[in-house]
Structure 1
Amino acid sequence: MKNLSKVTALALLISLSGSVVSTSVFAAPNYEEIEKRKNAKTKVMSERTGKKVMKAFEFVDAEDFNGAIAVLKELDPSDEFDRATIDRYLGQLYAQVDNYQLAIKYTQDAIKPDELNFNDQEQAMKLLGDLLANIKKYKEAKQAYIDWMDFTGEEDPTVYTRIAQASYELGQFKDVVEPAERAIELNAKKEPKKAPFQLLMAAHYEAKEFDKAVKILERMVKTWPTDGKAWVNLGKFYMQVEDYEKGLTTMDIAYDSGFFESETDYKVLAQLYSFVGVPYKAGFHMEKAITDGKVKRIKQNVTAMASYFHNAKNIKTAAKYYEEAAEFDNDAELFRKAGALRLQEEQFDKAVVLLKRALDEGSDKKGTIYSDLAEAYLQQEKYKQAYAAITKAAEDPSTRKFARSWKTFIKDKAQRNGVSL
């Protein structure tokens, strides 16, 4: 069948704890009745029906499924077993041509009389669940899978995974846990599969149970130590639950192992360094990622980089990146920050240019900017400009007190240097 892989593939698109359950949680098989069914005499089709079926199979061998359907539709056997067998074949063939509505109808018709041999009946019942899931009838699909377990008395990890998937698609996130955990337990006896783990993680995420999602990812990393996506997702979820130290350790491992795939991965690593109080490393990693083209050189990212270097007291680098970020859209506040940092590193000419640019772009922190301008001019012994700037600062309520005391200081210093204001 062409598209049935979609049923389980949906789980793989999401990156995602638990209890062990028994079949009785979902089904109540009668094992005595099951044994009777298995040991019952095998039924065979009538000769006339059998000949038509063989003719239909010739079309199937040639991959002419519509031709095979046409041959089988000519049949109208009175025998219930023959009828059920024909319906089963029609269900399979309609699935091959992607006519899922008719595939479901004929498969249901084949199952209903309970006339098929045991293996054919159970295969049809499982197929019905797959078909219903494929057209997003998840509630009905869940019941079909439970009916299959009732009929066979078997536990199939794939069926449990599909029940969990159906519950997830229905938004029944708590109902995902038990079948997914049972699938994990059964798979562990052969070969672990990622799909039920990922469903569990997705369900806990959607339920905002981030601590439980972390536990699932820890199990995944232990089971698949080379799964880069699991390592990266675990690091992100540690950050979600504010366990920044573990998050940083995990993301560092993922980074060093070459597991990063997206821009977000690099940004999360930088954020985690910042959260644990190592802003220089945050800035370093952000700068490298931008330089290497792993993170886009856009205002938001350049601003973050500037902020990291600022917090690390790397004033020169922070000023450079604040200025770069400001130029994206003439951001007055970023020009002000860049100017203030240039003032700190005693780049007075640059400070003046940037601070005036902040005023030109309409900054609402005029008192602070004029105060910084006054200091920059004063350091260059430009007393008239310094006095004019501090006079402006005195007009702003937020800097009035400071500016008035500085105004007197600047005036006195100018007079001592023979400058008349």
Structure 2
Amino acid sequence: MMIRSFKMSAVALVLGAGTMFTSSAALAQSSAVVCPGYEKGKTTLVGERTGKKVQKAFEFYNEDQVDEALNILYDIDPSDDFDKAYVKRFIGNLLASQEGKGMKAYGFLADSVQPKVLNDLEHSQTLKLLGDLSMQEEKFTDAVKWYNAWMDFTCKEDADVYTRLTQAYYESKQLDKMIEPADKAIALYEEPNKNPYVLKLTSFYERKMYPETVAVAEELVRKFPEEPRWWSQLGFFYLSVEDYKKALSTFELAYIQGYLEKESEIKALSQLYQTNGMPYRGAKVMEKYMKSGLLEEDEKMLASLANAYHSAKEFKTAASLYGKAAEMSSDPELYKKQGTLLLVAEDYKGAIKALENALDRGVEKPAKVHFTLMEANFYAGNFKEAFRHIQEAKKDRSLRRNASAWEPYIKEKAKNRGISI
């Protein structure tokens, strides 16, 4: 899963630090803490000596001279605990706005909240920022700590924070803890947001909780029906729980809407048609996308297409495709399948040729091929060849009884035709 970047704009980062220089109206902000019984205390301001230097730093910042602002802040050595925390927070905010300074910013910000002397708004903002920086710097266990600290301090519930907390649990391999914050995020978003659903699905899937995974995937399709990937993922999840009917209906609906574009998706749809007793449809889908080029026309794909037509009892078509696949691969088993189907289709000459190709290429269990060659030659009127192949078939103990039963029948037919065996 991709790690989300939580970099924030410099304006957002220093807003808290700059409020002391804004009008009194701007200070009338919503409460930073909503815990039961909470009463907002007096706002603490930095001391006069520290305040003058902070004012100068802020002026540099307003001129986009961040390094100059930082140099002033680094030189401040306040004795008051609040002033120390305030300056460290300001430094951390500015560093967080700079590329590659995340870890340095993290140190200053963590130090600023440790004594718990900042004003409530500044403290709460910093706790959340520490969570975001922890995610950015891949300190996922720390991110969990800071996001929970923010919620404990403010008693607020925020959909984005719950989503980030869920991801932090995922990245720190605490998969079982992901569900509760994901559910809270889902409930809090005014408009459906896919991220907590995806994280929840990932938690269930990676813990091999497939029925629960399916339930979340179904919800994703309901909430975001215009997203093609949720349809195909749901179809594959149905496959994982062996619900082939729902898998087919899902893939079929996605196919009708034009959502299936990947080779794996088309193969799945074709296979599901076959699994659900519609091999001809499966073959036609496969054939269509072989012609379009999405499915490669190699020996494996040709053999799969042949299997589909075979299941649909389209024996001549299947035999032709087995033959093409066999020519590409020189696989004796494919020649054997071709020959067997041509025998069923009463193309005895073609069957003999294909089956002999199978023997020439070292087919497994050759006695069975000899038995089939006996049948093909017999029905083609080649009784001498039929008799020769029956002798080979008799060498296999499992075929000996059936082969022996054919032997007198072949002799009789040959005799009736005046053929000496």
Kindly provide the amino acid, as one letter, of the partner of residue 342 in structure 2. R
Q: What TM-score, normalized to structure 2? A: 0.86
CA gap of 1:104–1:299, structure 2 versus 1, over 3 A, is farther
Q: Which residue of structure 1 aligns with residue 208 of structure 2?
A: 208
Per-residue CA shift, 1:305-340, capped at 9, x if unaligned? Answer: 222211111112222222233334322212211111
Per-residue CA shift, 1:262-296, capped at 9, x if unaligned? Answer: 21111111122122211111212122222222223
Note if contact 2:228-2:259 (Cα within 8 Å) is conserved in structure 1: yes
Note if contact 2:248-2:269 (Cα within 8 Å) is conserved in structure 1: yes
Whether 1:53 aligns to 2:52 is no
Structure of higher RCO (CA pairs closer than 8 Å, 6+ residues apart): 1
Which structure would you say has the larger Rg? 2
- Summarize the alignment of residues 73-222 of structure 1 with structure 2, pairs less than 5 Å apart: 73-95=74-96, 96-187=98-189, 190-222=190-222
What CA distance in whole angstroms lies between the structure 2 residues aligned with 1:395 and 1:70? 95
Kindly provide the amino acid, as one letter, of the partner of residue 144 in structure 1. W
Q: Which residue of structure 2 aligns with residue 235 of structure 1?
A: 235
CA gap of 1:206–1:319, structure 2 versus 1, over 3 A, is same
CA gap of 1:82–1:286, structure 2 versus 1, over 3 A, is same
Note if contact 2:235-2:247 (Cα within 8 Å) is conserved in structure 1: yes
Q: Which residue of structure 2 aligns with residue 398 of structure 1?
A: 398
What CA distance in whole angstroms lies between the structure 2 residues aligned with 1:7 and 1:201? 22
What CA distance in whole angstroms lies between the structure 2 residues aligned with 1:274 and 1:7? 47
Q: Which residue of structure 1 aligns with residue 26 of structure 2?
A: none
CA RMSD of aligned residues (A): 2.4
- Deviates further, 79-88 or 137-146: 79-88
CA gap of 1:205–1:406, structure 2 versus 1, over 3 A, is same
The percent of aligned pairs where both chains have the same amino acid is 36
Long gaps (5+) in structure 1: 9-28
Per-residue CA shift, 1:30-83, capped at 9, x if unaligned? Answer: 9257x33x4432424633322442254046x26xx5555444333333333333
Q: Which residue of structure 1 aligns with residue 360 of structure 2?
A: 360
Aligned to 1:143, what secondary structure does the other structure show?
A: helix
Per-residue CA shift, 1:187-226, capped at 9, x if unaligned? Answer: 1xx1110001111111111121111111112222222222
Q: Which residue of structure 2 aligns with residue 322 of structure 1?
A: 322
CA gap of 1:346–1:208, structure 2 versus 1, over 3 A, is same
Q: 2:43 aligns with which of 38, 41, 56?
A: 41
What CA distance in whole angstroms lies between the structure 2 residues aligned with 1:273 and 1:57? 65
Note if contact 1:56-1:72 (Cα within 8 Å) is conserved in structure 2: no
Long gaps (5+) in structure 2: 8-32
Note if contact 2:70-2:94 (Cα within 8 Å) is conserved in structure 1: yes
Q: Which residue of structure 2 aligns with residue 16 of structure 1?
A: none
What CA distance in whole angstroms lies between the structure 2 residues aligned with 1:161 and 1:216? 16
Aligned to 2:397, what secondary structure does the other structure show?
A: coil
Note if contact 1:7-1:162 (Cα within 8 Å) is conserved in structure 2: no
What CA distance in whole angstroms lies between the structure 1 residues aligned with 2:300 and 2:83? 69
Note if contact 1:4-1:130 (Cα within 8 Å) is conserved in structure 2: no
What CA distance in whole angstroms lies between the structure 2 residues aligned with 1:208 and 1:105? 39
CA gap of 1:325–1:385, structure 2 versus 1, over 3 A, is same
What CA distance in whole angstroms lies between the structure 2 residues aligned with 1:81 and 1:385? 105
CA gap of 1:295–1:86, structure 2 versus 1, over 3 A, is farther
What CA distance in whole angstroms lies between the structure 2 residues aligned with 1:304 and 1:233? 23
